[in-house]
Amino acid sequence: MKYEQIEIILTNEHPRIWKDLLSLHHTYKNQITEKTAENCACHDVHEVAAQVAGWVMSCPEDVRDSFSLMSMTYDEIKEQQRITGQKLTRKSNRLRRNLRRILNIRPEDDQFQIQFDKDKIDSEKSYIVRYDSKSDNTGWTAYDAKQKNLRKRYAVNRSIAEHIDDSSVNFLNYEGLFLSLTLPSEYHGCSYETAKNEIARRWTNIHKRLKYRNILNLGMSIIELQRDETPHYHVQLYVAREHRELLESVIIEQFPNEHDRRNDAVKDIWDALGCIGYCLKDSTKTETYISFIGLTRDIKSRYDNVYNGKCHKDLSDWRISKARRMMFENKPAGAVLLMLRGFSDERLNSLSARHPAFYHVQTDIQKLQITYIHCIHFCAFNHFNNKSKEQKNNSCHRIKKMAVFSRFYTFLRSLVYVYQESNTFVFYSWECEKSRGQPPPRNEKKGLISHSKQTISDISADWHKNHGYQAIGAESHENQ
């Protein structure tokens, strides 16, 4: 049964309901009529019209008042955004999602939503951000820029997740768990906001219970939609072996509906890379939200800034350079998170500091790994396994050692310019790489000292002449 068959009856008998449905798109009007006719199992138009009127009156007020917004096409949405300055695309998608949940309609059956998404993609592809030099009709479109940002976001999320797995399994010796947490059946017919707030509240309670017991847990959580657009969690979590039983009991306490499928709700991770790929499969969708457990809130921006060589508020130049070098290796490395100071627990971040806190370090292997991190960061070897109080930590600073033997190694770089005062004049090929606090060289004095046929005495005489001194001791230089 179509809406046109009951529209006249609604106009005469229920004018207020007809007025509310007037702004709703005809696709949703027909779906409401068909669903109502199926539920009441009646073919009488007057009975179906009465049932439709009752459904509209029982519909949530925010949905009923937004029939006009959810029925706008993408071109109409853009025009409305241009006039009001508000972002209405996501809001209209959310309203249509709530309507589909009420009517029990899947997204692939919503023809209006499919056409809306298609028009949005066509509009992005038609908007050229940067024209091609060879053609005025082609170039870099807004759709290309959006896809690039999505790929970049996916790469950052995957890299951070791999670093978490490496630091948790290979350093902390934690167990990896894959959690699939869903809501009870009564939350499959409510609005999307209500279901999302409920599942977030339960997951927050789990975090509070673990934090109260001082249990460190690391991982990644992804909230995405099921087939009926009910939000659920996929969690990649790492905890100590002795805390696993307590963790499972807390999860079942907050999600009692998962008790019967406990083996499916909590699984062991045997393929971390495959698990990460499965969790991030829908990361490009706007309804998917990704967050990291046990890391700082700004870990994504922190990682992105360091990867692009930008400064960050609490990271030194040494940390940035070392972390960036490890990032370019494209390998899972938990040391990257230590260099970024990316953990929310400062006791973990201090492991890459000069005075580490060994709260989470218990074995000799872990101390050797901390020694390796200190070699990377400070270029110094600290023997943390040496428990002797009389014997000091053996440290060998690479820069100091190379400076001692600099008389034999002439390929070392110098951070001073050749004309700087009190600079010892020796015929070495020093490289003028960088300077802080003094102006750069000008004209002919710029660059390296070039090898020529002049003798050392001639070069020394020219140098003293340019600086207003006599070439005293030139013969002694030549004799040397």
Q: What is the pLDDT of residue 43?
A: 75
- Number of CB atoms found within 10 A of residue 58's CB: 9
What separation in angstroms does the CA of 94 have from each of 75, 147, 185, 233, 375? 18, 22, 21, 19, 52
Longest dimension (CA), the chain: 120
What is the pLDDT of the chain when averaged over all its residues? 80
Give the H or E element holding residue 292: strand 289-293
Strands 175-181 and 289-293: unpaired
Cβ count near 465 (within 10 Å): 11
Q: What are 348's two structure tokens?
A: 């973990």
Cα-to-chain-centroid distance, residue 92: 26
Mean pLDDT of the region 146-167? 92
Closest CA to 356 of 381, 384, 380, 336: 384
Residue tagged 């977030």 (tokens): 200
pLDDT at 465: 55
Shortest CA distance to 267 belongs to which of 294, 295, 249, 248? 248
pLDDT tens digits for 433-460?
Answer: 444 444 555 544 444 444 444 554 555 5
Rounded distance, CA 357 to CA 339, Å? Answer: 15
Whether pLDDT at 5 is above 50: yes
Lowest mean pLDDT among 126-140, 231-245, 258-272, 465-479: 465-479
Q: Do 228 and 104 meet the contact criterion of CB atoms below 8 Å apart?
A: yes
Beta bridge partners of 293: 219
Q: Is the pLDDT of residue 403 over 90?
A: no
Q: Within 13 Å of residue 478, how many CA atoms lie on the same side as its CB?
A: 12
Question: pLDDT tens-digit profile of 33-91?
Answer: 888 888 877 778 888 888 888 888 888 888 888 899 999 999 999 999 888 888 889 89
Domain locations in the chain as residue ranges: 3-126, 146-294, 313-378
Burial 237-274 (b: 16+ CB within 10 A, else e): bbbbeebbeebbebbeebbeebeeeeeebbeebeebee
Q: For residue 12, what are the CA distances in angstroms to 5, 19, 57, 479?
A: 13, 11, 17, 118
CB atoms within 10 A of CB 208: 10
Nearest to 426 by CA among 408, 447, 438: 408
Predicted model pTM: 0.75
Burial of 141 (0-12, 13-18, 19+ CB in 10 A): middle
Tokens of 96: 């249509």
Residue matched to tokens 């109260």? 212
3-class DSSP state of 414: strand
Structure tokens at 202: 């339960």
Q: How far apart are CA 368 and CA 254, in angstroms?
A: 40
Helix (H) or strand (E) holding 376: helix 364-378
What pLDDT digit, counting tens, does each position of 95-135 carry?
A: 999 899 888 888 888 999 999 999 999 999 988 888 877 66
Above 50 in pLDDT, residue 420?
A: no
**Alpha carbon distance 333, 162 (integer Å):** 8
Decide: 238 and 173 in contact? Cβ < 8 Å.
no
Neighbouring residues of 93: CB distance < 8 A, sequence distance ≥ 6: 113, 116, 286
CA distances from 169 to 15, 128, 218, 234, 469 (A): 66, 46, 11, 19, 66
DSSP state at residue 229? S
Rounded distance between C-alpha atoms, residue 251 and residue 205, angstroms: 9
Select the more confidently predicted residue: 325 or 380.
325
What is the SS3 string spanning 23-90?
A: CCCHHHHHHHHHHHHHHHCCCCHHHHHHHHHHHHHHCCHHHHCCHHHHCCCHHHHHHHHHHHCCCCHH
What is the per-residue pLDDT for 254? 92
The confidence score (pLDDT) of residue 285 equals 83
The CATH code of domain 146-294 reads 3.30.70
DSSP summary character for residue 286: T
The alpha carbon dihedral of 99, 100, 103, 109 has a sign of: positive
